Amino acid sequence: MTRQPLLARRAESLLGVAVSATSPVAGGDTSTATRLRLADGRNALMKTQPGAPAGFFEAEARGLALLAGVRDGVAVPEVLAAASDCLVLRWIDPGRPSADAAATLGAALARTHAAPAELGAPTDGFIGRLPMPCRAPEGATWAEFYAVRRVLPYLKLARDRGAVLPGDAAKVEGLLGRLPDLVPEEPAALLHGDLWNGNVLWGTGGSVHVVDPAAYGGHREVDLAMLSLFGLPHLAEALAAYEATAAGLGRPLVDGWRERAGIHQLFPLLVHAALFGGGYGARAAAVAAAY
């Protein structure tokens, strides 16, 4: 490990402890990640992003704090410092995925979802590099919130960027009016909000943490749909443990939740279309047409 003076000095000013070495960490589409070796023997992860929008790292820190506040819920790295230009987290030594760790994740997620929550959030947030509206219209149902705060903003952005063709956009729009009949209403759950495989951190000793939340109150099938979208290792074990734990908590999943997964995958697919283009727009249209 070498030492990047500017990063090290910024971390030292926030942590109040000397940084003896730094090294880049691979991965991440949004921020630059750097491992810090601290003089007191600890290791930390520092996330930076040149020109980060106002409130970007503070929003992530709020989401981590919300998740950390749920007893026996999903584990998150400890926030060591948060500022407008960076976020510093406790370092998690990486390990390998396992069926037992996936089951631990599924059970913990069910307990997180059982925590009291209100629909949406008091302040808006971010999904990747994009703003994410979180304020719920007064009296809104989940179907209304999902349509106007999750699907339509990114459908418009992707269409404006040429990532969704007009005919495909019409297929997605055509589904939205049917959401009240397709998705059962239930009390809002505290969501991670961006729970794809890349935001699950498999640690040593069978530990598992989640990172990069876009937390708000919403339908718990959103997180389950995200876990299923991009190939979580040992997904079957995670979902089975979730289902059993949710039932044990008196909040069993409503029949048909697996078949509804595509509905809640429209949101991340359209976010990806807006960010990366490719075939994500057409994929979202195909999912919408299936319903």
Bridge-based pairing state of the strands 216-218 and 208-210: unpaired
- List all residues 6 or more positions away from 114 whose beta carbon is below 8 Å from its beta carbon: 189, 246, 249, 251
DSSP 120: B
- Could you give the residue numbers annotated as active site? 194
Q: How far apart are CA 138 and CA 140, in angstroms?
A: 6
- The 10 Å Cβ neighbour count of residue 23 is 12
50 vs 87: CA distance, rounded Å:
13
Alpha helices in 39-165 (DSSP H): 56-68, 99-113, 142-145, 152-160
Distance CA 68, CA 76 (A): 6
| Contact assessment for residue 221 and residue 148, using Cβ atoms and an 8 Å cutoff | no
Long-range contacts of 130-135 (CB under 8 A, 24+ apart): 130/154, 130/157, 130/271, 130/274, 130/275, 131/53, 132/193, 132/214, 134/216
Q: Is 124 helix (H, G, I), strand (E, B) or coil?
A: coil
Which residue intervals of 69-220 are DSSP H helices?
99-113, 142-145, 152-160, 166-176, 179-182
Note whether 182 and 260 are within 8 A (CB): yes
Cα 270 to Cα 259: distance, rounded to the nearest angstrom: 19
